[in-house]
Each structure stands twice: as C-alpha cells, then as structure tokens.
Structure 1
Amino acid sequence: MVRFKNRWILVEFIPVSQGTAQLGKVGSGNKLDGKVIWAALKQSVLSNFGDTGWGAVGLSLTVKYFSPTTNICIIRVARDQHNIAWAALTLLTAIEGGRYIPNVIHVSGTIKHAQLAAIAHNREIVARYRAMSKNPALYQDSYDTFLETSALEIEAMHD
C-alpha cells in the first residue's frame, strides 16, 4: 500500500489598505473564506505556472482551515508540488479585489505539526492584540473563548 505524502502550509493573509498593513485590526471586514482563497490560489498558479503547473498542483490542493479573525489558513498540497503552491502563494497580491500580503508561517510534513504551529500562532496574535489594547494581564475578554474554540477546531481537523 502506498500512502500519499503531503505538505501542510500555514499562511497568514495580512490585509493591506492604502499602502499600510492593518496589523492591529481583528476581523477587518474582509470577505475571505476557504473557497475564495482556493480560487485565488488556483488563479495564481494558472497565471504564473500555466496549465502544467495547475495540472501538477490541482488534484492535491485543498484549504483545510481558515480563521477570519486572525486570517490564518492551513493548506494541504502534495509533497512533490508544494514548491509550486508556495511560490503561487508568495506571488499572490489580491484576493477578491482586496490586497493582501501572504506570510507563510510554517511548512510541515504532518497535520499535527501544522495544528500545533497554528495554535501557537493564534496565541501570539491574540497576545499582540491584547498588548495593543493595553489591558491588564488577567483581563477576561472574547479572545479567551476564541482561543478555546479555534484550538478545538484546529485539533478536530483530520488528514
């Protein structure tokens, strides 16, 4: 029996407005979701690598998770073609008319390591948001429930 080997790409889409990144805005009114990201990634592969590139990547490319609050996404692609998908992500500048900077955070060979990196990155982003809001360290807010629910969603993903 042969198993398919995948790469898991954890990417953050940083919204850009009038030349400046909106790093402090949580859920900045964007309309991103998994299907929109998949379609934009498909278009990026087609425009930069042509039909041959899409033929290599297309069967294995899936968006497994997207968080509209933190704009992080977990993408699965076949191991042999992950460089094409990564390059297409890097060359991606606009999704549905909105400008974004894709920041690849982590690439792993297992879903478990991608999940752990996503949970750690969510905690880092929430800590950054809390630091910008200058709230006390023990302050209870909606981010606590977000961290709990997002960790459960991410851990529930299966290959």
Structure 2
Amino acid sequence: MVRLKSRYLLIDILYPDPSTWPSTPTSKPPNPQLAIHSPTSDTLTPGFLAKMIRESVAELYGDWGIGKLGGASASGITIKYLSPATSTAIIRCPRAAFRLVWSALTYMSGVPEPGQKRAGTGRERGCVFRVLRVSGTMRKAEEEAIRRARREIVRVKEAEERGVLGGLAGGEIAVVDSVMDVSEDEGMDD
C-alpha cells in the first residue's frame, strides 16, 4: 500500500485595515489586537476557501501548478478545519505542492464581505493570510493552534487588566508609599 504524503498548513486570517474592523457601540476605540484578529464572515466556507486557493494557484502557476495540486479537480487541497470565530484554518495539501499553496495564500488579499448572501459576488473584505506552521501531521497543527489561542487569550486579558486597573493600582501604590514614608520618618524622630 502506498502512503500519500501530505502537509498541513495552519493559517491565520488577519484584518490589518482599520476600515474593516468591526464597529463598537461605545465611543472607545477597539483594542487593535482584537480588531486585527476579528472574526471572519460565515460566507467563507471550507469549500469556498479551497476554491479560492486553487484559483490563486492557477493564476500564479497555470496548468503546471494545478497539476502539482492533483490535476484538474485539484482534490489534493482540503480544508480540514475552519473557524470563522477565530479566523483560523488548517489546510491539507500534497507534500510536493505545499510551497505553491503557501505562495498562493500570500497573494490572496480578501474574503467575502460579512453581509453577503453568497460567496463570489466580487465584494471582498481586505485581509492577510498568514501561515503560522507547516506540519506533517494534523495533530501537530492542532496543538499549535491551541497553543496560540491560549497565548492570545492571556495577552488580551493582561491588556484589559492593565487598562482597567492601571489608574487604580498606580494611585493606590503612590498613596501607600507616601504613608510608609511618613511613618518611617516619625519612627526616626522617636
């Protein structure tokens, strides 16, 4: 039996353009860390993402690129995981063509708008596809996605705590320090 060798690309979809960030009901500007990692619309389905990648490979590399992906049907590319909430995906492709897929992702610059009823109508939300990891197994790609998600949660929580408690903690520490200085001075006089 022949084993088909594949590569798994863990990708992150980022939205660096502030005009594409979701609006907040308050007057406070959104946290840039959260806004860049904002959710992707539900119109981006695994099948549509695979189609976008195949079209990008065909545009960049022509028939040779499509042949490396597995032929005219290009069944070699499958989306194993797509989360619109975290804008994360895991793509399986042939081992011989993972660099073609990576370069095609680099040149892709948009996903369907959130308000669209169906994908492919021409209106796109500008984005950047960032390859986070290339792995030989699905398990390692999943572990990396979980590790990165946990790290982002901790980073955002720390930023919120600094923002909320920054003024309070700074003021309390200064008051406590001044009280300690006064009590130490009084103790020296005795």
Cα deviation for residue 39 of structure 1 reads 2.1
Query: What letter is aligned with 1:11?
Result: I
| Bigger relative contact order (CA 8 A; separation at least 6) | 1
SS of the equivalent of 2:12 reads: strand
Alignment of 1:37-56 (within 5 A): 37-56=49-68
Q: Is the contact made by 1:24 and 1:132 (CA closer than 8 Å) also made in structure 2?
A: no
Q: Is the contact made by 1:41 and 1:89 (CA closer than 8 Å) also made in structure 2?
A: yes
State the partner residue of 2:103: 87
Distance 1:20 1:123 in 2: 25
Q: Is the contact made by 1:36 and 1:95 (CA closer than 8 Å) also made in structure 2?
A: no
Mean Cα deviation higher: 11-20 or 35-44 = 11-20
1:118 to 2:118 alignment: no
Equivalent residue in structure 2 for 1:24, among 6, 9, 34: 34
TM-score by length of 1: 0.74
Gaps of 5+ in 2: 22-31, 113-123, 163-190
- Identify, as 1 or 2, the structure richer in strand: 1
Cα deviation for residue 36 of structure 1 reads 2.7
Distance 1:72 1:106 in 2: 12
State the partner residue of 2:133: 106
1:132 and 1:29, CA in 2 relative to 1: closer, same or farther beyond 3 A? Answer: farther
TM-score by length of 2: 0.63
SS of the equivalent of 1:134 reads: helix
1:134 to 2:134 alignment: no
1:98 and 1:20, CA in 2 relative to 1: closer, same or farther beyond 3 A? Answer: closer
Query: What letter is aligned with 1:107?
Result: V
Listed one character per residue, the Cα deviations across residues 104-137 of structure 1 (whole Å, up to 9, x for unaligned) are: 11001111111111111111222233233338xx
RMSD over aligned CA atoms reads 2.3
Structure of higher CA gyration radius:
2
Cα deviation for residue 72 of structure 1 reads 0.8
Gaps of 5+ in 1: 136-159
Q: Is the contact made by 1:10 and 1:107 (CA closer than 8 Å) also made in structure 2?
A: yes
Distance 1:128 1:54 in 2: 40
